[in-house]
Amino acid sequence: MRIPLPQAPPPARLPRGRRLRAAAVLTLVLALALTLGAQATAAPGDRTGTDRTRGYEVRGVGSAAQRSALAMQGGVAIDAVHGHSVTITADPATARKLEGLGYLLEELPAGRPSAAAADGAASALSTPSEYHSYSQTMAAVNALVSRHPGLMSSRVIGTSYQGRPIVAVKVSDNVGTDENEPEILFTHNMHAREHLTTEMALYLLDEFATEYGRDARLTRLLDTREVWIIPSVNPDGKVYDQDSGVFRSWRKNRQPNSGSRYIGTDINRNFAYRWGCCGGSSGSTSSATYRGSGPESAPETRVVTDFVRSRVAGGRQQVAAHIDFHSYSELILWPYGYTYSDTAPGLDQDARNAYAAVGQEMAASNGYRPQQSSDLYVTDGTINDWMWGSQGIWSYTFEMYPRSSSAGGFYPPGSVIDRETARNREAVLILMDHADCMYEAIGKPALCSS
């Protein structure tokens, strides 16, 4: 998006982050007022012991089964996989529990100072100004929509536990009309600390706005597709993790749990497909992967699922394809997560092959590693499994930069935002291209009409 400067020659195109901020100034006051009202309803019990989390490297877990056992026994989220070790985030009590179970843990230095010196990685003690806060994100979205009303529209599709709006932005040539076109959904910031994914949403919106009518391929896709972008699925968690100026390494939402001092549900273990089935989530409220009291018990989960269900028209789901953006590890993942099997009920060999073919094509464009989700470790109640198993939507997870914790983990430096969001441009367009018939990727287009 170009920001005009009166009484001056046309400026050089600003870096994307600065352009978004300049546009956001026009609407930031309104967004702040809205956000402050939501913040007034902050959940009780913020002084939870789970804030004292640390990063650990766990050695001797080289197989998917070993990683699944670690996640299940310890109730931990595996942040990254490195050959025969993994990186996890855990509080000291959980770390002691794992050591008691025989796991070999090494606590990682806070902020990885050696890596910060080499790569400019963000300190764990401060939040880089280049990352948009929730209020700044909403202001940037409002500015883009107001500048491109013929291409973009936004709607509040629900609210978080603490009352913050969860917004979906529609992008298409005839944005005010529900056309008979394949829809593609992009979800972001489901886990609070994964702020690079919100920047990915803003990048896509800005790229669509700037390049529509200029880039022939992108224009064709927006003329024949309807795109939906949810920049922050977990606004309460984002605010809690970011707005104090000190990153808290928070993952879950901010919903209290009855009878427990521990706060939060892992939204990406709370979906109503194979929920809690297979050791891929935790029933303990203290766990980073706590699956909630029941499927869709987190209001943020229900907002997403209600929105997706609302896209059914004439008995047909209009959303054809989906990417859920996460960080980190540089991976492209596809269903199922709940089973090690390549095929399972609802996922036959042709579907699996189509998933792999498109996944590999996207990975060739961004350098990520493509694989079935359970090749890492078993997860259940995830958005990918629900999208495919319940709605028949082709659904991928992108785990964004960096590849390892040594380059910043969940908090890479703001200087990489433009590079790492643009890195996924081609992959996004590839999925949009395939959305009308994913089976064409394996030479079986007839399956799209069956």
Catalytic residue among 99, 399, 420, 440: 399
Indicate if 330 belongs to the active site: no
What is the rounded distance in angstroms from the CA atom of residue 399 to the CA atom of residue 368? 8
Which DSSP string do the residues of 262-326 spell out, in sequence order?
-B---GGG-SSSSTT-SSSSBS-TTSTTB--SSTT-SHHHHHHHHHHHHTEETTEE-EEEEEEEE
Name beta bridge partners: 58: 86, 105
C-alpha distances (whole Å) from 139 to each of 14, 202, 291, 421 are: 18, 11, 32, 19
In angstroms and rounded to an integer, the radius of gyration of the C-alpha atoms of the chain is: 21
CA 310 to chain centroid, in Å, comes to 21
Whether 234 contacts 191, CB under 8 Å:
yes
What is the rounded distance in angstroms from the CA atom of residue 154 to the CA atom of residue 133? 19
SS3 249: coil
Q: CA dihedral in degrees (155, 333, 403, 304; nearest 10)?
A: 20
What are residue 80's phi and psi, to 5 degrees? -155, 155
Query: Is the CA virtual torsion 277, 281, 285, 286 positive or negative?
Result: positive
Element (H, E) at 358: helix 349-366
Name the residues annotated as catalytic: 399
